[in-house]
């Protein structure tokens, strides 16, 4: 479900400042076959991804350092990437040049001192995650990096599923749309979810996630454990295994974790809004669960309804993009938009490197949805 809605005709909206120095999902890992490559765009960087014969995944900048032709125009034999233009060969995990066919014994150039751009690349939860460093810092294979994000799991055996949707808006609009608590009864009207008539007053407790150890690199906030909405049918179904509680975390730069527990049954998801370019982004959802894991029909049913849910968000943001083309003045209100205000403050603190957190302590917010 790569493009639930065709966004090709949508004009790009306003751009957003991008956060480098972190992990982002580039594409599904099952798209990377041994000896094959795929291209992707991540934070405006053209990527060439592939899987070597030994099973390792890699990510390179899809540009030859010689004349700038995309390396994807060339060949990959499972060990080396060869440029189509002059036959330069590169080891893809490090980007190190291994061979320049035009060199002779009279040349003193050491080909192995030349590097194409390469990125740290790891598999987690069915995605190929790429660490995108700060511009100009390059890739150092021995450098210690933050852990690769993954879905929380609470048992050895579980099922999982993935959803993806492209959005014609910048990452900021994608993220604040993801965390917006008030759009549910309008955007997600369904007999199996909720309706306008189900709107009622809500009160939720939030607490800061500081990450002081890393100067707020992955700071965020948590909607503390609470009983989920009584007007949501899927949550009611979980109640058969005991009282249901859900916890929702948002952490920089773009991650929303939701964990639902009911006795020894659980459902967890990691949703990311990844900047493809400064003005476009993509939603990736990975979910894992042990609820009805024995039932063969449960996974396709869950993916079916999940696809409807994500499509509703995508269609709304495609429509919003039409309005954003005209540069309208926008507003954020309390309390429903308070999480969006926290996000913008946290992002600016990270970009400035101050480590400041907009929350002094726990906060209770009120809204109707």
C-alpha closest to that of 64 among 103, 122, 115: 115
* Cβ–Cβ under 8 Å, residues 86 and 23: no
Identify the helix (H) or strand (E) that includes residue 243: none
List of residues 6+ apart from 188 with CB closer than 8 A: 194, 309, 312, 313
DSSP, res 189: B
DSSP, res 64: -
The model carries a pTM of 0.88
C-alpha closest to that of 138 among 168, 156, 118: 118
Domain-wise residue ranges, the chain: 22-132, 159-368
Q: What is the pLDDT of residues 68-86, one digit of tens each?
A: 999 999 999 999 999 999 9
pLDDT at site 66: 97
Q: How far apart are CA 80 and CA 90, in angstroms?
A: 5
pLDDT at site 86: 97
pLDDT at site 339: 94
- Record: fold of 159-368: Naphthalene 1,2-dioxygenase Alpha Subunit; Chain A, domain 1 (3.90.380)
**Tokens describing residue 165:** 């949707």
Q: First-to-last CA distance in the chain?
A: 29
* Cβ–Cβ under 8 Å, residues 289 and 268: yes
Q: How far apart are CA 288 and CA 302, in angstroms?
A: 11
C-alpha closest to that of 362 among 205, 250, 217: 205
List of residues 6+ apart from 57 with CB closer than 8 A: 29, 32, 49, 50, 51, 121, 122, 123, 128
Residue identified by tokens 């969006």 is: 340
**Tokens describing residue 256:** 């929303």
For each of the chain's 369 residues, which pLDDT tens digit applies? 344 444 444 555 678 999 999 999 999 999 999 999 999 999 999 999 999 999 999 999 999 999 999 999 999 999 999 999 999 999 999 999 999 999 999 999 999 999 999 999 999 999 999 999 998 877 776 788 999 999 999 999 898 999 999 999 999 999 998 888 887 778 777 655 555 667 888 888 999 999 999 999 999 999 988 776 654 545 555 555 568 889 999 999 999 999 999 888 899 999 999 999 999 999 999 999 888 766 676 677 777 777 777 788 888 888 888 888 888 888 888 888 999 999 999 999 999 999 999 999 999 998 887
Three state DSSP letters for 96-162: EEEECCCCCCCCCCCHHHCECCEECEEEECCEEEEEECCCCCCCCCCCCCCCCCCCCCCCCCCEEEE
pLDDT at site 272: 97
Architecture of domain 22-132: 3-layer Sandwich (2.102)
Q: How far apart are CA 150 and CA 170, in angstroms?
A: 24
Please report the sign of the dihedral spanned by the C-alpha atoms of residue 342, residue 346, residue 347, residue 348: positive
For the chain, helix, strand, coil in percent to 5 are: 20, 35, 45
* Cβ–Cβ under 8 Å, residues 55 and 64: no
Question: What is the full DSSP assignment across 309-358?
Answer: HHHHHHHHHHHHHHHHTT-------TTTTHHHHHHHHHHHHHHHT----S
pLDDT at site 6: 45
């Amino acid at each position: 479900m790569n493009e639930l809605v065709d966004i090709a005709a949508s004009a790009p909206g306003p751009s957003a400042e991008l956060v480098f120095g972190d992990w982002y999902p580039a594409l599904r890992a099952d798209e990377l076959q041994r000896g094959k490559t795929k291209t992707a765009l991540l934070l405006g960087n053209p990527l060439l991804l592939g899987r070597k014969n030994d099973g390792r995944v890699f990510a390179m900048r899809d540009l030859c350092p010689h004349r700038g032709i995309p390396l994807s125009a060339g060949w990959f034999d499972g060990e080396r990437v060869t440029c189509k233009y002059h036959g330069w060969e590169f080891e893809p995990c490090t980007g190190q040049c291994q061979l320049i066919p035009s060199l002779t014994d009279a040349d003193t150039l050491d080909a192995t001192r030349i590097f194409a751009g390469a990125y740290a690349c790891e598999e987690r939860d069915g995605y190929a995650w790429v660490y995108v460093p700060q511009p100009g810092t390059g890739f150092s294979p021995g450098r210690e990096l933050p852990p690769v994000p993954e879905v929380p799991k609470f048992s050895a055996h579980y099922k999982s599923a993935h959803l993806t949707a492209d959005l014609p808006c910048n990452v900021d609009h994608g993220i604040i749309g993801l965390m917006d608590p008030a759009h549910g009864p309008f955007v997600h009207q369904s007999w199996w979810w909720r309706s306008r008539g189900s709107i009622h007053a809500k009160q939720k407790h939030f607490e800061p996630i500081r990450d002081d150890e890393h100067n707020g690199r992955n700071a965020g906030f948590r909607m503390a454990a609470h009983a989920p909405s009584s007007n949501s049918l899927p949550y009611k179904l979980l109640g058969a295994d005991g009282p249901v509680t859900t916890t929702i975390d948002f952490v920089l730069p773009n991650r929303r974790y939701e964990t639902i527990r009911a006795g020894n049954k659980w459902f967890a998801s990691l949703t990311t809004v990844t900047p493809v370019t400064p003005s476009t982004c993509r939603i990736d959802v990975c979910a894992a669960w042990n609820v009805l894991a024995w039932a063969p029909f449960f996974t396709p049913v869950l993916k079916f309804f999940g696809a409807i849910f994500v499509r509703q968000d995508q269609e709304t943001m495609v429509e919003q993009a039409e309005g954003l083309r005209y540069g309208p003045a926008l507003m954020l209100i309390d309390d429903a938009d308070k999480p969006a205000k926290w996000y913008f403050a946290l992002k600016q603190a990270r970009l400035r490197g101050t480590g400041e957190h907009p929350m002094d302590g726990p906060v209770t917010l009120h809204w109707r949805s």
